[in-house]
């Protein structure tokens, strides 16, 4: 599963949660049908978001498919449409472009080998794109291979790439107006900024390029100042996206998914900043490694990775017992710890059926 813009499903309204799961599983199914089982690892969260923005107009066909995360012992509802298949191909294309980035940045033999493995599958995808989009992808790859201009051109190009692929995806969809296209472009710009903020420690340890580290070298800034400057860029972009998302007439489920994805991403960046700068994280009793005997529950708590990362699930049997009026209730492993009106889950308060601090964020 690729991409940072992933919602915390247990915080979404039921209709948005259902749509996201269905579109996500539909992308996975289409990738498997077109490119084989390993391609299911390349589902793009950003492409799922794009589908939520435009698929409402499509006349889709309902179907069921086996879920690879459940060893095909459980079926999932999916929808079939040419647009879903296009989105699956663009997910593969985005993975291929990301491998180019990794290869150029680190010289990784693994990235080069995998990118070459994808080359034959990507060639027909590029051929089906418009001449304008293909020309832009060539320009984008040139920036990736030789980023002499710095981070700003790459960030802008990432936004344009998202815009071009969204245009290819929606084609003549009437709902994809200028506001929606602007949101997609700004989201494309936001992602490399978020990626840089989340990867500072890893890039520092591996010696790879990162705009935060480059700002420290070029401007003599402290780590906190350099991180804070890039974080300000992130917050400006996020605020613009959130403002646009409140425009009347946008698909409601798309808006809910987008806003929740941004909230989750902001939490991740704040945690990374705390860890990078040595700040103490809030001690809510949740961040503990699962005991060895609980590994089965640890894995069962997440369904295809679309609720929370397994390392963030609750410490005691998926969701710790929640006590209210003397009764003990177990959650469903996806943040729904209990539906109470007082306290639960290590003394946290309930928020729309989810206990605060449960760790599924």
pLDDT digits (tens, 9 = 90+) for 185-239: 999 999 999 999 999 999 998 888 899 999 998 888 999 999 999 999 999 999 9
Q: Tell me the CA end-to-end span of the chain in Å, nearest whole number.
A: 17
Q: Which two tokens stand for residue 234?
A: 């992130």
| Range 191-196 contact pairs with CB under 8 angstroms and sequence separation of 24 or more | 191/3, 191/4, 191/5, 191/46, 191/158, 191/162, 192/151, 192/154, 192/155, 192/158, 193/155, 193/230, 193/233, 193/234, 193/237, 194/4, 194/234, 194/265, 194/269, 195/4, 196/151, 196/230
Instruction: Please give the Cα distance from 101 to 137 (Å, whole number).
Output: 13
The confidence band for 105, taking pLDDT boundaries of 50, 70 and 90, is confident
- Checking if the pLDDT of 273 tops 80, the result is yes
Q: Which among 57, 80, 20 is positioned nearest to 175, based on CA atoms?
A: 57
Q: Which two tokens stand for residue 66?
A: 């086996």
User: CA of 73: how far to CAs of 18, 67, 305, in Å?
Assistant: 20, 7, 17
Question: What is residue 175's predicted lDDT score, i.e. its pLDDT?
Answer: 62
Question: What is residue 292's predicted lDDT score, i.e. its pLDDT?
Answer: 43
Number of residues assigned to the chain:
361
- Checking if the pLDDT of 318 tops 90, the result is no
Question: What is residue 283's predicted lDDT score, i.e. its pLDDT?
Answer: 52
- Checking if the pLDDT of 141 tops 50, the result is yes
Contact of 136 with 167, CB cutoff 8 Å: no
Question: What is residue 220's predicted lDDT score, i.e. its pLDDT?
Answer: 86
Across the range 88-96, mean pLDDT stands at: 96
Question: What is residue 4's predicted lDDT score, i.e. its pLDDT?
Answer: 82
Question: What is residue 1's predicted lDDT score, i.e. its pLDDT?
Answer: 44
To the nearest 10 degrees (0 to 180), the angle between helices 14-35 and 252-276 is 80
Question: What is residue 361's predicted lDDT score, i.e. its pLDDT?
Answer: 38
Instruction: Please give the Cα distance from 72 to 247 (Å, whole number).
Output: 41
Contact of 211 with 230, CB cutoff 8 Å: yes
Instruction: Please give the Cα distance from 45 to 20 (Å, whole number).
Output: 10
DSSP letter for 44, please: B
Listed ranges 99-103, 150-154, 156-160, 343-347; the one with the highest mean pLDDT: 156-160
Instruction: Please give the Cα distance from 67 to 28 (Å, whole number).
Output: 9
Instruction: Please give the Cα distance from 25 to 40 (Å, whole number).
Output: 9
Question: What is residue 360's predicted lDDT score, i.e. its pLDDT?
Answer: 39
- Checking if the pLDDT of 293 tops 70, the result is no
The confidence band for 172, taking pLDDT boundaries of 50, 70 and 90, is low
Average predicted confidence (pLDDT) for the chain: 79
Q: Which among 65, 57, 56 is positioned nearest to 27, based on CA atoms?
A: 65
pLDDT digits (tens, 9 = 90+) for 27-71: 999 999 999 999 999 999 999 999 999 877 788 898 998 888 877
- Checking if the pLDDT of 339 tops 60, the result is no
Question: What is residue 164's predicted lDDT score, i.e. its pLDDT?
Answer: 95
- Checking if the pLDDT of 296 tops 50, the result is no
Instruction: Please give the Cα distance from 32 to 37 (Å, whole number).
Output: 5
Instruction: Please give the Cα distance from 242 to 190 (Å, whole number).
Output: 12
Burial string for 34-65 (b: 16+ CB within 10 Å, else e) reads: ebeeebbebbbbbbbbbbbbbbeeeebeeeeb
- Checking if the pLDDT of 111 tops 90, the result is no
Q: Which two tokens stand for residue 114?
A: 């995998």
Instruction: Supply the pTM of this predicted model.
Output: 0.77
Q: Comparing 115-119, 234-238, 284-288, which segment has the lowest mean pLDDT? A: 284-288
Q: Which two tokens stand for residue 158?
A: 């990432």
**What are the chain's domains?**
9-276 (1.10.600), 297-355 (no CATH)
């Amino acid at each position: 599963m690729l991409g940072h813009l992933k919602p915390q499903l247990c915080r979404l309204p039921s209709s948005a949660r259902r749509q996201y799961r269905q579109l996500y599983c539909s992308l996975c199914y289409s990738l498997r049908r077109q490119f084989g089982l390993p391609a299911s690892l390349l589902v793009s969260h950003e492409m799922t978001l794009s589908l939520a923005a435009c698929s409402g107009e499509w006349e889709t066909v309902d179907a069921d498919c086996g879920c690879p995360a459940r060893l095909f012992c459980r079926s999932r509802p999916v929808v079939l449409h040419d647009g879903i298949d296009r989105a699956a191909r663009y997910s593969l294309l985005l993975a291929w472009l990301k491998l180019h980035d990794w290869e150029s940045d680190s010289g990784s033999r693994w990235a080069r080998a995998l990118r070459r493995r994808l080359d034959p599958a990507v060639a027909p995808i590029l051929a089906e794109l418009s001449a304008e989009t293909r020309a832009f992808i060539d320009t984008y790859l040139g920036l990736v291979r030789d980023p002499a201009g710095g981070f700003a051109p790459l960030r802008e190009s990432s936004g344009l790439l998202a815009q071009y692929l969204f245009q290819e995806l929606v084609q003549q969809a009437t709902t994809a107006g200028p506001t929606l296209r602007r949101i997609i472009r700004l989201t494309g710009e936001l992602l490399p900024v978020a990626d840089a903020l989340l990867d500072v420690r890893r890039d520092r340890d591996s010696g790879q390029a990162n705009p935060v580290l480059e700002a420290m070298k070029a401007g003599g800034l402290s780590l906190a100042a350099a991180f804070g400057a890039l974080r300000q860029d992130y917050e400006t972009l996020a605020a613009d996206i959130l403002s646009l998302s409140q425009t009347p007439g946008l698909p409601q489920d798309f808006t809910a998914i987008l806003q929740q994805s941004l909230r989750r991403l902001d939490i991740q960046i704040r945690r990374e900043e705390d860890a990078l700068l040595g700040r103490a994280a809030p001690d809510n009793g949740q961040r503990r490694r699962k005991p060895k005997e609980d590994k089965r529950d640890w894995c069962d708590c997440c369904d295809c990775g679309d609720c929370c990362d397994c390392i963030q699930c609750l410490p005691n049997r998926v969701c710790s017992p929640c006590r209210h009026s003397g009764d003990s209730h177990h959650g469903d492993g996806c943040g729904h710890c209990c539906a109470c009106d007082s306290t639960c889950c290590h003394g946290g308060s309930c928020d729309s059926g989810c206990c605060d601090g449960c760790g599924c964020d």
